[in-house]
Amino acid sequence: MSMEDYDYLFKIVLIGNAGVGKTCLVRRFTQGLFPPGQGATIGVDFMIKTVEIRGEKVKLQIWDTAGQERFRSITQSYYRSANALILTYDITCEDSFRCLPEWLREIEQYANNQVVTILVGNKIDLAEKREVLRQKAEDFAESQSMLYLETSAKESDNVEKLFLDLACELIREAKQNKLDNTDSAPMPGEGKAISYLSCCSLN
């Protein structure tokens, strides 16, 4: 695809434990379907979707990474060039939430310091099996200066909002960096979260 076909190109990488629904989120957004009995991702997979936001064409490269430990050295190499990271856990699985600090350490070690990070609690269609209270997750996200959103890939709840709001924020940051000429300067995570919430109203 030539540069004339889009105004912006962003790389979004989904990370988190195996089985939390990363692939289902990607396929729901890019293909509009929920794959029943989805198997575990092997290594890394990606899909592309182009969206239009306020008259500007945005090409999203969405990278779906395997959650299993044996693929970690492969998936870590994708962090550095990511514009946004979607850190995903399963609201019905306390273990997937308890592993979040480990994922955050990987982000700190391998991702660039301007990456936009959002915490996503998936599978809200299984609310009766919830093991992680929303308030607990929100408090954790706030303590890490991350954004927070709950989704259901199965029911398509907040899935489009997740990716479009990320695209909105990435455009805003791209324009700000271009205007301020601060491409190499780190943006404070807390300020980033505040400006994003006011711009795109994730919550």
pLDDT (tens digit per residue) in 165-196? 999 999 999 998 865 533 333 333 323 332 23
Q: How many domains does the chain have?
A: 1
Q: Which residues contact 99 (CB under 8 A, 6 or more apart)?
A: 16, 17, 89
Residue 105, in any domain of the structure: yes
* Other Cβ atoms closer than 10 A to 168: 18
Residue 146, in any domain of the structure: yes
Residue 1, in any domain of the structure: no
What's the confidence (pLDDT) of residue 186? Answer: 33
What's the confidence (pLDDT) of residue 5? Answer: 86
Q: Reduced to 3 states, what is the DSSP secondary structure of residue 97?
A: helix
Low-confidence ranges of the chain (pLDDT < 70): 1-4, 36-45, 66-76, 178-203
What's the confidence (pLDDT) of residue 181? Answer: 39
Residue 121, in any domain of the structure: yes
What's the confidence (pLDDT) of residue 65? Answer: 76
Give the CATH number, domain containing residue 171: 3.40.50.300
Residue 201, in any domain of the structure: no
Cα 181 from chain centroid (whole Å): 26
pLDDT (tens digit per residue) in 137-168? 999 999 999 999 999 999 999 999 999 999 99
Residue 81, in any domain of the structure: yes
Query: Is 130 exposed, middle or buried (CB count within 10 Å of its CB: 0-12, 13-18, 19+)?
Result: middle
Residue 173, in any domain of the structure: yes
What's the confidence (pLDDT) of residue 44? Answer: 63
Could you list the residue range(s) of the whole structural domain that residue 151 is in? Answer: 8-181
Residue 196, in any domain of the structure: no
